[in-house]
Amino acid sequence: MGNKEFDDESRYVEAKFKNISVISLYIPSGSSNEKRQLAKYRCMYYMMKKMKEMGGTLRDYIITGDWNIAHKKVDIHNWQGNLKNTGFLPEERAWIDTLLNEMGFIDAFRELEQEKHSYTWWSNRGKAWNNNVGWRIDYHVLSPALKGKVIKTKIYKSKRFSDHAPLIIDYDYAVTDA
């Protein structure tokens, strides 16, 4: 990532293939305390700078992973009860708005029509998984040139691996020597 604080926490891995980079990103959760929420904001700020740099190149990017932010009301089962909770704070959602609406990055999952209540994370408390009381906090965010390249999306829920479900996205994309 190029930032000691977040590199020490192994929050960013980038694989480069000719004209495309695939990045795994894990933005900190702010749920444990205010100190961690401030770390989350620092990570978001630093990642915004990185994404501005990415937007200024001819290279394509797919940035995947746990962003720890539900962007829209449709991305969280109980949005009204979480308006003041980390992961759905107005500042966090505005940050994603900036990436998507102002910088032109793409939320790959939302490129295609989705079923209601499509989530990628469920609390281990209560019966959140069984009742599908979840959040969509895992993303594939694409550089602007990849708009229209999504051909299929799936949240894999046939088997439970953790409190997250894998987000699988297929692309119509050819790696070139560009």
Both tokens of 91, joined, read 């500042």
66 is annotated as an active-site residue? yes
Burial of 8 (0-12, 13-18, 19+ CB in 10 A): exposed
Whether residue 70 contacts residue 87, with contact meaning beta carbons closer than 8 Å, is answered with yes
C-alpha to C-alpha distance for 151 and 131, rounded to whole angstroms: 29
pLDDT at position 178 is 62
Instruction: Choose the catalytic residue: 66, 75, 107, 138.
Output: 66
Q: Phi-psi bin for 95: left (phi > 0), alpha (psi -120 to 50), beta? A: alpha
pLDDT at position 34 is 93
CA-closest candidate to residue 171, choices 88, 108, 93, 101:
108
pLDDT at position 32 is 81
Helix (H) or strand (E) holding 134: strand 134-135
Q: What residue has token string 């992961």?
A: 87
DSSP string for residues in 143-168:
-GGGTT-EEEEEE--SS--SSB--EE
Quick one: how far is CA 20 from the chain centroid?
Answer: 18
Provide the residue ranges of all domains of the chain, joining segments of one domain with +: 4-171
In CATH terms, 4-171 corresponds, of 3.40.250.10, 3.40.190.10, 3.60.10.10, 3.90.70.10, to 3.60.10.10
Kindly give the confidence (pLDDT) of every residue in the chain, 178 residues in length, as a single tens digit, with 9 standing for 90 and above: 999 998 888 889 999 999 999 999 999 998 888 999 999 999 999 999 999 999 889 999 999 999 999 999 999 999 999 999 999 999 999 999 999 999 999 999 999 999 999 999 999 998 999 999 999 999 999 999 999 999 999 999 999 999 999 999 999 999 887 6
For residue 62, give the 3-state DSSP assignment.
strand
Q: Residues near 66 by Cβ (< 8 Å), separated by ≥ 6?
A: 25, 26, 27, 121, 137, 138, 164
pLDDT at position 177 is 79
